[in-house]
Chains A and B, each alone.
Chain A
Amino acid sequence: DAGVTQSPTHLIKTRGQQVTLRCSPKSGHDTVSWYQQALGQGPQFIFQYYEEEERQRGNFPDRFSGHQFPNYSSELNVNALLLGDSALYLCASSPISGSSYEQYFGPGTRLTVT
C-alpha cells in the first residue's frame, strides 16, 4: 500500500515565476492538506481540500492556490514566487474531513527560489 507521494522531490525556480507541486494521498484517504516548513521551523498549515473544494485556509496570501481532482490527488500552485517562499512543502492526507483522524505526511518537495 503506497503512502502519500509527492512530486517533484526538488525544484529550483527564479523569483517571479510560478510553480506547481503535486500530491497523491494514501490509499483510502480523501482529504489532503498542504503545509509549508521553513528551515528550522515547524510546518505551517496552508490549506485543506476535501470533495474538490478548499475547506480551510491558513494565513497565506492568495498567491497560494490549490486544486483537488476526482481521484483525490491535489496540486499546490504558487504564483509570483518570492525568495521567502523557499521551503519544504509537505502534503498530508487523512481518511475523511474530520478532526479525529491520523494525518499521514509525504516526503515533501524542497522548493528553492533564487
Chain B
Amino acid sequence: KQEVTQIPAALSVPEGENLVLNCSFTDSAIYNLQWFRQDPGKGLTSLLLIQSSQREQTSGRLNASLDKSSGRSTLYIAASQPGDSATYLCAPSVGGGKLIFGQGTELSVKP
C-alpha cells in the first residue's frame, strides 16, 4: 500500500528565501508524481508533473526532482514571495491515474 509523507508539516519563512519541500513515498512503482498548490478552502492547482522516467521538471521559480528508487521527491521554490503562501501537496500516481496524497506542507511567507 502506497503511503506518502511530507516534511515539514508547516514552514514559515521571510520573503526572498529559497526553500525545499520534501515528499517521500513507500512504493517506487509509480507512473508519475504531481505537485499541487492548495489555497485555504479551494481546489488543487497543478504545479508540476514529473514522469517516472524523468529526474526533474522546472516551471518558473519552481523546480521539482524525483528519485524513484529512493522514494523521494523535492519541490524547490526560489526567491519565495508572500503570494506563495499555501499548502503544497505531492501525489504519486499508482496506476490508472489514481493519486495518493500526503497531508501537505503548509507554507507561510512573511513580507
Contact = CB atoms under 8 A, between A and B. Distances in A.
Contacts of B99: 33, 35, 43, 45, 92, 103
Contact of B41 (A56, A88, A97, A106): A88
Contacts, number: 74
**Interface size for chain B: under 10, 10 to 19, 20 to 34, or 35 or more residues?**
20 to 34
B43 interface: yes
B31 interface: yes
Contact of A110 (B31, B41, B44, B96): B41
Interface in B12-71: 31-32, 34, 36, 41-46, 49, 51
A103 to B, nearest CB: 6
A68 to B, nearest CB: 14
Contacts of B36: 105
Interface of B: 4, 31-32, 34, 36, 41-46, 49, 51, 89, 91, 93, 95-104
Interface of A: 4, 6, 31, 33, 35, 40-45, 48, 55-56, 58, 88, 90, 92, 94, 97-108, 110
Given A42-B103, A105-B46, 7 more contacts: A4-B43, A99-B93, A100-B93, A102-B34, A103-B34, A103-B93, A107-B43
